[in-house]
Structure formats: C-alpha cells, structure tokens
Structure 1
Amino acid sequence: MKNKHLLIYAHYYHPDVASTGQILKELAEGMLSNFRITVICVVPSYSGVIAPQYQGEKYYFENINGVDVIRVRVPEFDKTRKNSRVKNILTYFFRAMWATRKVKEVDYVYSISQPPILGGLLGVWGKWMKHAKYIYNIQDFNPEQIIATGYSKNQMILNLMLWFDKFSCKHTNKVIVVGRDMVETLKRRFEGKDIPKYAFVNNWIDEKAIYPLELTDFHVTAFRKKYGLENKFIFMYSGNLGLYYDLENLMRVIKKFPQETKTADERDVVFAFVGDGSIRDKLVLYKDKNHMENVIFIPYQDKADLSYSLNAADVHWCVSAKGIKGVSVPSKLYGEIATGKPVLGVLENGAEARLIMEETQCGLVCEPGDYEQVDRNIRWFINHADDEEISTMGRRGREFLEKNLAKDVSVKKYIEEILSCGDHFEVNEQKLGN
C-alpha cells in the first residue's frame, strides 16, 4: 500500500544550521518508512546571505536523502534590522503559500511555529488547500516569547499575534508541544474554553552522531589547538547568540573571572561562545571594552564537526532569560548531555530543561537573574575541576538521554501522533509522560 503523503512547512531546512532545520531533517528522514514527504522551505539563508546558485529562480526542487524539497527564494537580510527580517519572512510566507499548489495529494500537513505566527497560518492554509489533517508543532509560543524578551511592546500587534496563533491552534487536528511546561501554556491560552487536542514530545539529539569523546581524541584535540584552548578548563556556550538567553548579563558575571583564574588542578579558565546571532557583536564589544582575554568567540561548526566542538568543553551552559518557561525549550541541552559533559544551567523552576536537569542531576542549575548563584556555580566547577563528581554528572545525563531523548524514541512518537489524528480519542495526562 502506498504511504500517506506528508507536507512539511519548515522555514529553514538542511543544510541551514538553524536548530529547527536540523531537527526537521532528522524527523523527515526518520519518518520515510511511514510517509512520502515533501518539505517547503527557504533556500539556504540562515546567516542572512544567499549563495549565488540560489539567486536565479523563485523555486528550486531537490531531493535530499529521499525527502522532496521545494525551496523558495527570499531576499537577503540583516539579523540586526527588524524591517530586513520582516521582509525576508513575509516573502517566504507568500511564496510558500504559492508553492503549496505545486504539491499534490496531501494527507497530512505539518508545520512548526517558525516563523512566529506565520508558521501556524501556513499550516492552516495547507490544511484547507489540500483537505488534509493538520499537525501544528509549537517549538516556541508567540507572542509570549516576544513579550518575555521585550522585542516588541506594541500591545495592539501583540494581541493580534495571539489571536492569529490561537486561530491556528483551533484549526489543527493536533498540537504537539516540546515541553511539559508548554502544555500548561497551551491550557492557559484556552482557559475556560475547549482546548485543542495536544501531545507532548521532547525534542531529541541523534545520540549516534553526538556522543562522548575523550579530550585526547584527534578531532577534539585539533579543535582545541585551532582556537588556543589546549590545557584549558572550558565553559562553553554553543548555539544561537540571540535575545532569549540573557547573555549580556551573564557576561557581567563572567567578567569577575579574569584571565589569571585557574582551576584546582592549575588549568586556565576560558569561556568559549560557539555560534552566531543578533547580539554577538554586543558581546564581542563588551569583551573588548573590558579586556576579557579569557573569553573567546568561535564561528558555528559544521554539523559533521559538532560532536568534536561540543566534546571540547569541560562544562556546558544551558541558559534562558526569565519569562521563557512554558514558551520555549533550549534544545541545546540535548546535545550537551549527549557528550557526557556536566551542565551549568540558568533556567526557571518548572521549565522543561530544568526538569530534565533535576531528574538527571547532570549539573548545577539556578534561576535566571540570580547572578550571585551563577557566580557560585561557576566557582564550584572551578574548585572541583578534578573531582569525580563532575564526570558522574556527565554520565548521568548521557544515560538519561539514551533512554528518553534519543532520536528514534521521539521520531516514533511523532509518527504515532500524526497517524492518530484521524482517530477519535483524547490525549490524556498519562500519555504526556515520557
């Protein structure tokens, strides 16, 4: 029997380094045994720059590892300028709507909450156009995320955004969220009214691609040597240097640890930021202004090299700004614990990532804004750098991931939730557990 056809609206998709693009690639390829899959996304452009080979046509048709991909051309953009980003996003939205006409015989439509609001509306459009079942995967709640970060304070626009996203939720056959705290946000949105059918499925990491390596591994050693990190004790932040992580205030905490700071076993302490984003330049400027010589900025790493860069750390940061609980889950946690390294968490009580850290005891965690405790936690790792407890923390995280957050575990849940959209049953609280 021919597999059902699943249409995915993805905004970013491989080879873009956006975390959602990488997750959707693994999800799509993992579901090929159950579905024929078409993805509608932008041409590779996460950095804002578009390669010459994607600048000639409005639409490009590709097949990546069995997944049909329709790419729409968008204008280049500057991440620091709102108008530039809005133009880019709106172009994707309208061209993706038109590209939907190029896809035939769709049984299921799946979209994520990126770009904000428009991702959900694209899914509704696809559902109506193709008379298909619609699954809305909310990776980030908006406008709640915008409100939490102060990106906009225009109440009229924020209310309109909330109305549209609730509209998308109402017209789904199922909403899938990626955190237990996000379930509560969905319920609050519809308090006193019918709540859309929903399910909770964690994001994941490919535990066969990201796994523990010794610091003596050739590739790990090469990464450390390339960036002058040999024989250092490294606190690493890896991922998007954006608005949602309170990194500017954390830099003020880091400033308390000057270049001459050493661990109990006499290693120099270094703070490494691997990635890029809208506030990178601000962080670099702060570093230069305050002569923070033990802070280093490193470009995004190719996915094939990600395991080596992550394993180069001694401790990983997992941070979110205050107000992000129930709105977004920092997926970087999964890659961090996949390496078997301990985590220094700055996460709200009850947030999904913090619940995982507390269940696994894979590191130290405190509330966002509690900068004195952040300071104490950094000092604990420095003073216990050669203790077995640090290694034990890392092992606990890896063991938990293999049982609960591995790729195949989550992909199987997605398949079940999508196929069940036509069934008449309610998702109950027990099913929400791991």
Structure 2
Amino acid sequence: MVSDIPEPSPSPRPLRRWRVEPDGTRAARPHSPSAGPRARRRPRLLFVNQYYWPDHASTAQHLTDLAESLADRGYECHVLCARGRYEPGAEPPPARDERNGVTIHRVRATSLGRGSVLKRMTDYLSFYVGAILTALTLPRFDVVVTLTTPPLIGLVGTLLRRLRGSCQVYWSMDLHPDASLALGQMSRRNPVVALLSWLSDAIYRRSDRVVVLGPYMADRIRAKGVRDSRMVEIPVWSRRDEVFPLPREGHPMREALGLSDKFVVMYSGNLGLAHSASEFLEAARRLRDRDDIVFLFVGGGPRLREVKEAKQAEGLENIRLLDYVPREQLHESLTVADAHLVSMRSEMTGIVVPGKLYGAMASERPVLFVGPDHSETADTIRRAGCGVTVRLGEPGPLVEAIELLSSHPELSAEMGRKGRSSFLDEFERLSCCDRWADLIGELVGDLRPASVPGGPAVVVPSAA
C-alpha cells in the first residue's frame, strides 16, 4: 500500500553550509555598491508580493510569518503589496499600515478576481505599475525579497538591484510561465510566451539568491542557468501554535457538522489546475455505500467545480463541501479529518510544491497523496512514514488505503504521530524562519542586527 519505490538518488547539487571565512575576514556581500566602512544601523528589508495580511492566500500567510519574524530579530521590514483583497468585493485595508513591527505599503490595484484570464491579467498589470512606481519612491533597501505572485514581479527586485544596489532574493513559490506551459494553456511557439519565458529566466539568473522549495524545483531552476551557489533550499511551513492535534472524541467542529461517528477524508485548500480530482471522485463513487466514510472538501478552486457537479449529478451524498475557514480556526478545521487528501499532476513536479501537506502533518493525521512517485510531496511522506502515496489514475489503491485506515485506527494514529514529529523537525515556522535569518544575515554582512547570532557568514559548497 505504501509505495515501495526506492527513493530517488540524491540531487547532484552540492549541499550548502554556513561558516565564517577560514582567515576570519569578512566576505564581501554578493552585490554591494561600496566596500568602505558604514555606520551601523538597522538593515532595511523590502518584501514584494501581491498578497499580504489580512489576505488568506498561502503566499500572504507565509510572507506575513517571515516578515514579522525578521522584524522581531531587529530588521526594519517593509512590505509592498496590493491594496485589493484576495476576495473580490471585500473592503480594502488602508494604503499604509503597520502590524507587528512591519510597515505595509499597499498600492492601488484592481481586484476583479480569478474568474477569467482577462480579469487575472488586469489585476496583475495594475499591481505591476503601482508596485514599480511605489518602490522607486521608497528609500534604498539593503535586501529586496520578491515572491512569484504575480508572475514576473521579480522585475521590481531586479530594477532596485540595478538602480539602488540592493541585494535581490527571489523566493520561488512556483514557476511561471512554466505552469501555464505544462498545463497546455500557453504555447512555446507564441513569440509573446517566448519573451515572457526569457524574461522570467533572466530574473532568476540575475538574483543574488534564489530560495527554492525543494530539490525538484531546484532542478528546474538549475536548467534556467542559475548556479548552485546562488540557490538556497527552504521549504514553506505551518505553525505549531496554529495547527495542533485535537482528539477525535468531543471535537467541537466534528460534532457541529454531524461527523462525530464518521471517518472523514478531507481535502483542505485550493483545488486548482495543478491538482487532480478525478481519483477522489472515483473513490467517493466506490465508497458511496459506506455510511461511515465521508469526503469533506474545504476551500475552493477551479477543480472544485468538478466535485460539485459530480455530487449533484450523481447524488454522491458522501461528499460534503465547506467554504474556507479563517486562519485562526485551522486547528479545528484540519483536525476534523481522519485522513488528509493531497494531489498534484505529474507535469507540475518541480513547478509547484503543495504546502497543504505541512498543515496535514501538523494536525497529526495521515496523508493520502495522489501524484508522481518522485516529487517533494511523495518523498516527504515516504521519508516521514506519515501516509500513503498513490499513482495518478489509480483510484483502487486510494480506496484500499481509506478502507485500511478506517478499520485500523492504531495505524492511522501511528502515521499521524510520525507526521507531526517530522513537521516539528523540518517544516515548522520557527526553524524555517531561522534558515531565512541565516540567509538575510549573510547578505547584509556587518549590518546584521545584534539580535541575530553569529558573525558575518558566507555560503560555500561542501567538499566533493
């Protein structure tokens, strides 16, 4: 049941380690406008992304965690984001704000939503213009961290690197237009698409550091011409104080939903084009006569329409649907599940890394992954022993895994404990933000705040 395919061989990319130069001298910054002495001050960091608090988008949540963590460490942190909300029609937050030590600059941008490509492109374009104009009016930043929403927003970092001498860090949450090409939404023969691909690759190559989410994503970015010495692997995370185990018995949300005596198989979050839903639906069909098993979909996304249509057309009463829940209720929502569903299409390997895996692991519930055998998600599940991996297009093993876990609660509990342990070791906010602090500390050199331990450091490849 659990995939017995051997783990892929280690990546040829050399491991990276942090150390001071052997002679004790301070290494120069990767990109520095001057080498002379500077008066000590708080280093200034700028983060650029379309979404930030209070949006519930995944990139908004992770960026909020990181910016506030670095502000706590003594950095002067600023965020440049869109003033519109992730949900169309919501009241926009103020143009300038401060929260937990982070100064937020929100630029006007349309908020038409994701209903069509035209609406999404309009939202992107309006944010591009506002972000570039606003960035040029702000003071110089020592480090500019750009995410990948919207695509090509890294150009803001490239521009500030060129004009202001800032260090540029590209936080690669996903790859564009690679995703659209992989899904067949764009053609490489289109000259506009070819230009966008060239421009995207150039942003990666010109960045001082590229933060990747895993080794398969690193492989794709290496193919763009980015040197190994410029790549740093830091996964996304969940938070132990937000997602923590709750017992099945007496669970308030399970009782409120009438699921106290059910085995709940949950898909939580965005069910997008990068994911597969057909295996979930077929499993629901085959288990429709099992009154004790319920499939619960919480969230939204383009492929959720398939689930809704199948439920209505086929009378699948064992499928239930809920809207997104607020972040502060995640511990209740995720622990409603007895097992979590995660999926990813094969062609998206290295392009996206489903972050919902880490919330599932944090909830101390087993994970059922439908996707490629070799990917960040499958490798993590096998390494942690926290669930079952199933190949795409094979709903039979998924059904067997659900029936096995529903009839062997001790096995389910053991997988859940292993997942929680692995989450705390590798994918918890504090440890991941520590790795970010190491990276930023390297780039700012002698401007490093006193609250960040250790002296100036450089990154070197390990010995072969």
With structure 2 as the length reference, what TM-score do the two structures score? Answer: 0.84
- Tell me, yes or no, if structure 1 residue 141 matches structure 2 residue 203: no
Equivalent pair of 2:279/2:392 in contact (CA under 8 Å):
no
1:422 to partner: Cα distance: 6.2
| Cα gap change, 1:338 to 1:421, in 2 (>3 Å) | same
| Cα gap change, 1:362 to 1:430, in 2 (>3 Å) | farther
Instruction: Select between 21-30 and 349-358 the one with higher mean Cα deviation.
Output: 349-358
- Tell me, yes or no, if structure 1 residue 242 matches structure 2 residue 264: no
SS at match of 2:223: helix
- Tell me, yes or no, if structure 1 residue 76 matches structure 2 residue 111: yes
Equivalent pair of 1:239/1:274 in contact (CA under 8 Å):
yes
1:35 paired residue number = 75
Alignment partner of 2:249 out of 203, 216, 221: 216
Alignment of 1:282-321 (within 5 A): 282-321=306-345
Instruction: Select between 320-329 and 372-381 the one with higher mean Cα deviation.
Output: 372-381
- Tell me, yes or no, if structure 1 residue 397 matches structure 2 residue 419: yes
Instruction: Select between 100-109 and 313-322 the one with higher mean Cα deviation.
Output: 100-109
Equivalent pair of 1:172/1:196 in contact (CA under 8 Å):
no
Q: Indicate the structure (1 or 2) with the bigger Cα radius of gyration.
A: 2
1:169 to partner: Cα distance: 0.9
- Show structure 2 runs of 5+ residues with no match: 1-39, 446-456
1:102 paired residue number = 137
Equivalent pair of 2:86/2:111 in contact (CA under 8 Å):
no
1:97 to partner: Cα distance: 0.7
1:205 to partner: Cα distance: 1.1
Alignment of 1:263-412 (within 5 A): 268-384=292-408, 386=409, 388-412=410-434
Per-residue CA shift, 1:10-40, capped at 9, x if unaligned? 2111111111100000000111114111101
With structure 1 as the length reference, what TM-score do the two structures score? Answer: 0.89
Alignment partner of 2:219 out of 162, 184, 192: 184
- Structure 1: which amino acid aligns with 2:308? V
- Structure 2: which amino acid aligns with 1:6? L
Per-residue CA shift, 1:222-249, capped at 9, x if unaligned? x223333232110000011211111245
- Higher RCO (Cα < 8 Å, 6 or more apart): 2
1:352 to partner: Cα distance: 1.0
2:102 paired residue number = 67
CA RMSD across the alignment:
2.2
- Tell me, yes or no, if structure 1 residue 413 matches structure 2 residue 435: yes
1:121 paired residue number = 155
- Tell me, yes or no, if structure 1 residue 155 matches structure 2 residue 189: yes
| Cα gap change, 1:98 to 1:281, in 2 (>3 Å) | same
1:430 to partner: Cα distance: 8.3
- Tell me, yes or no, if structure 1 residue 12 matches structure 2 residue 51: yes
1:427 to partner: Cα distance: 4.7
SS at match of 2:95: strand
- Structure 2: which amino acid aligns with 1:46? Y
Per-residue CA shift, 1:371-416, capped at 9, x if unaligned? 33333323332343x3x11100000011111112121111011111
Q: Distance in 2 between matches of 1:140 and 1:200?
A: 13
Instruction: Select between 412-421 and 268-277 the one with higher mean Cα deviation.
Output: 412-421
SS at match of 2:348: coil
Equivalent pair of 1:43/1:50 in contact (CA under 8 Å):
no
Equivalent pair of 2:284/2:318 in contact (CA under 8 Å):
no
Per-residue CA shift, 1:302-324, capped at 9, x if unaligned? 11101100011100012111212
- Show structure 1 runs of 5+ residues with no match: 263-267
2:14 paired residue number = none
Alignment partner of 1:231 out of 243, 257, 261: 261
Percent of aligned positions with the same letter in both sequences? 25
2:207 paired residue number = 172
1:275 to partner: Cα distance: 0.6
SS at match of 1:199: strand
| Cα gap change, 1:152 to 1:225, in 2 (>3 Å) | farther
Q: Distance in 2 between matches of 1:101 and 1:123?
A: 11
- Structure 2: which amino acid aligns with 1:166? D
Instruction: Select between 83-92 and 205-214 the one with higher mean Cα deviation.
Output: 205-214
